[in-house]
Chain A
Amino acid sequence: MTVSADIGQQDLSRKDMGHEPAPEIAAPRRVFPALIVLLGALFALVPYWGDDVGLRESFLLAAVYITLASNLNIMIGYAGYINFGNIVFFGLGGYICVDLVTRWHWPLVAAGLMAGATVSLLALVFGAGILRLRGAFFALATIGVNEAVRQFVANFEPWGGATGIYLSFDAYEPLGGPMSALWLVYFLLVGVMVLSLLLSYAIKTSKFGLGLLAIGQNEDAAGVLGVRTPLHKALAYSASAFFPAVAGGLFFFKSGIIEPNGAFDLTLSIEAIVMIMLGGYGTVTGPLLGAFLYEELRGYLLTSPTISQLQLVIAGALLLAMVLFAPGGLVGFIHQRWPRSRTILQ
């Protein structure tokens, strides 16, 4: 071919200078998944070795938050669709799992997986409908879905209506009593957290993820380039529902009670968005960092006598500050400061 790279070099490179020469584009490194698994092991073992129940409870909540934030990030950070009602997956998963365990005496793990699969399938069906909406309309529709499900459950007698379902102590017997059940649920939740992060990483580095990122940037252009946009969005919505539903099942099994207002709490939905923005949307590490820091901060604020009422006010101020000064979140900031970190910190 006579026409080659030199076409562009003279006329274009002048203004495009000022960036470092393109590094050789390597396949993403494989260290990152190993780091995630290592982190999960630390998460599981540190409270266990120290036999620190307080730390376990704090980490358990962090694992739930990280699961929620990481999966929500698939929609918000990758596909660019803001899902305000993401908590519906968590609540519905909780109900299905608790119902299967209490009424049908399913083993916990099977019930959790069933909850995940059912909610994921429902999300696929719902998603195909509401994902025709874009931007603010989609965001509003997701709140609508959450509120509708909450109202339905509050009037659904088999699930206890507005009072919800209580678990008796018998439910913990197959797991060796409440004491060991709490540890087991904790380990399972850490497992769900690790799998969520691995899913997020797998999607981000896959062809499917590339399609999602393209949709997030410019949906019409992505379509013209050949990305099957409706299918991609519905699959992403469905995939982002699975682990939150499993986490909901485990969490409410551990709590011993599930009722509509606690299960479909819109505040937690919005807090999950704050966590993503705090850590850095569109990255795997961002939601992890954001959710962990947010949980620690929240724990501190709630126990501090002077400002315990101001937790959400501070969350709001924090979000505002992040959006104004570091729109890429913590990870975005790190990437900007140290561009080389991009290859390691996904």
Chain B
Amino acid sequence: MSALLEVSALSKRFGGVQAVADLSFTVGKGEILALIGPNGAGKSTVFDLINGVFPPDSGRIVFEGADITGKPTYEVAHHGIARAHQIVQPLAGLSVLDNCLVGACYGHDNLSLAAGREVVREVAALVGLADRLAMPAGQLTTAGKKRLELARALCGRPRLLLLDEVLAGLNPTEIERMIEVIRAIRARGVSILIIEHVMRAIMSLSDRVVALNLGRNLAEGSPPEIANHPAVIEAYLGDPKLMTMSGAQPS
């Protein structure tokens, strides 16, 4: 599996907080790579850096052989990286159709309005928004807005999809369906970098997992490896030995 995205020695500091420190990883073609870590581990910052929301202090981001480090957001989008935000960002006053159309027409393929509409129809059917295209995006439910984030990103026909907690706030049935949708997206040859707290989803979806803590690469491996990795357990729950000790104490 050759590398689609290569992140090397990435660092970003906000004032006194080292949000990302010397982080390196790669995403292979057709791979689903999960980024996990406790709150504040720097996961969304990594997305912002890849996405070009702000430039890194040091390090390089190479996508399909092209250096995209510090490029503005729209250029990153043209390279074929699309993102679904953790905090939904609908263009609230525009219809669902127009929201998706922005993604389709300004994304990787730079489509015309007419060609964009075709893509939107197809993606809306896949994501389950086909019956709500004429609705103003602001009127969608939370789950609907999450879907819109995904649909909009997908309409740009990306090579790499950045999914930032698209399952958060959904109920178990909705999560189940969303996982199906993500699988279907991967089946179309789109690589996915996903941030998620829902471990069930991580376990069933991802090929590989990178665990972060305090902006650093804590561990990397297959989902079961990571789930049983002592350092990961420590980062989430504290020292495992301490836990067994306290568990062993008679109450």
Enumerate chain A interface residues (CB-CB to B < 8 A): 1-9, 11-13, 15-16, 19, 21-23, 25, 27, 206-207, 210-211, 213-214, 216-218, 220-229, 282
Within the complex, which residue of B51, B125, B139 is in contact with A224, where a contact is CB–CB below 8 Å?
B51
Q: Report if A12-B141 is in contact (Cβ < 8 Å); known contacts: A3-B180, A7-B177, A225-B156.
A: yes
In the complex the two chains form, is A9's CB within 8 Å of B94's CB? Answer: no
Q: Which residues of A contact B103 (CB under 8 A)?
A: 225-226
In the complex the two chains form, is A213's CB within 8 Å of B98's CB? Answer: yes
In the complex the two chains form, is A25's CB within 8 Å of B102's CB? Answer: no
In the complex the two chains form, is B128's CB within 8 Å of A12's CB? Answer: yes
Bound CA–CA A221/B153 (angstroms):
11
Enumerate chain B interface residues (CB-CB to A < 8 A): 51, 53, 72-74, 77-78, 82-83, 85, 89-94, 97-98, 101-103, 105-108, 112-114, 116-117, 124-135, 139-141, 143-144, 147, 152, 156, 171, 173-174, 177, 180-181, 183-184
Since A25-B97, A211-B106, A218-B91 are in contact, a sample of 12 more A-B pairs with Cβ atoms closer than 8 Å, ordered by chain A residue number, is A7-B180, A9-B128, A9-B131, A15-B141, A16-B141, A16-B144, A207-B112, A211-B102, A218-B92, A223-B72, A224-B51, A226-B103
In the complex the two chains form, is B126's CB within 8 Å of A4's CB? Answer: yes
Q: Which residues of B contact A207 (CB under 8 A)?
A: 105, 112-113, 116
In the complex the two chains form, is A228's CB within 8 Å of B74's CB? Answer: yes
Contacts between chains A and B (CB distance < 8 A), count? 142
In the complex the two chains form, is B174's CB within 8 Å of A2's CB? Answer: no
Within the complex, which residue of B91, B125, B131 is in contact with A222, where a contact is CB–CB below 8 Å?
B91
CB distance from B99 to the nearest CB of A (A): 8
Bound CA–CA A13/B61 (angstroms):
41
Within the complex, which residue of A12, A22, A226 is in contact with B77, where a contact is CB–CB below 8 Å?
A226
In the complex the two chains form, is A11's CB within 8 Å of B173's CB? Answer: yes
Q: Report if A210-B139 is in contact (Cβ < 8 Å); known contacts: A7-B180, A8-B147, A11-B173.
A: no
Bound CA–CA A239/B114 (angstroms):
24
In the complex the two chains form, is B105's CB within 8 Å of A210's CB? Answer: yes
9 residue pairs A–B, Cβ–Cβ below 8 Å: A3-B181, A5-B124, A16-B141, A218-B92, A220-B89, A221-B89, A223-B73, A223-B77, A225-B77
In the complex the two chains form, is A227's CB within 8 Å of B74's CB? Answer: yes
Least CB separation from A6: chain B residue: B128
Least CB separation from A15: chain B residue: B141
Q: Which residues of B contact A224 (CB under 8 A)?
A: 51, 53, 73-74, 77, 83, 85, 89
Q: Which residues of A contact B77 (CB under 8 A)?
A: 223-226
Least CB separation from A22: chain B residue: B134
Least CB separation from B116: chain A residue: A207
In the complex the two chains form, is B174's CB within 8 Å of A210's CB? Answer: no
CB distance from B119 to the nearest CB of A (A): 13
Bound CA–CA A106/B177 (angstroms):
69
In the complex the two chains form, is B139's CB within 8 Å of A16's CB? Answer: yes
In the complex the two chains form, is A1's CB within 8 Å of B177's CB? Answer: no
Q: Which residues of A contact B107 (CB under 8 A)?
A: 225-226
Bound CA–CA A224/B128 (angstroms):
23
Bound CA–CA A220/B48 (angstroms):
12
Bound CA–CA A19/B107 (angstroms):
30
Within the complex, which residue of B93, B102, B126, B127 is in contact with A210, where a contact is CB–CB below 8 Å?
B102
Interface centre among B106, B129, B134, B177 (most CB of A within 10 A): B106
CB distance from A9 to the nearest CB of B (A): 7
Q: Which residues of A contact B105 (CB under 8 A)?
A: 207, 210-211
Q: Which residues of A contact B116 (CB under 8 A)?
A: 207
In the complex the two chains form, is B101's CB within 8 Å of A12's CB? Answer: no
CB distance from A273 to the nearest CB of B (A): 19
Q: Which residues of B contact A229 (CB under 8 A)?
A: 74
Q: Report if A213-B73 is in contact (Cβ < 8 Å); known contacts: A8-B127, A16-B132, A25-B134.
A: no
In the complex the two chains form, is B126's CB within 8 Å of A1's CB? Answer: yes
Bound CA–CA A221/B87 (angstroms):
11
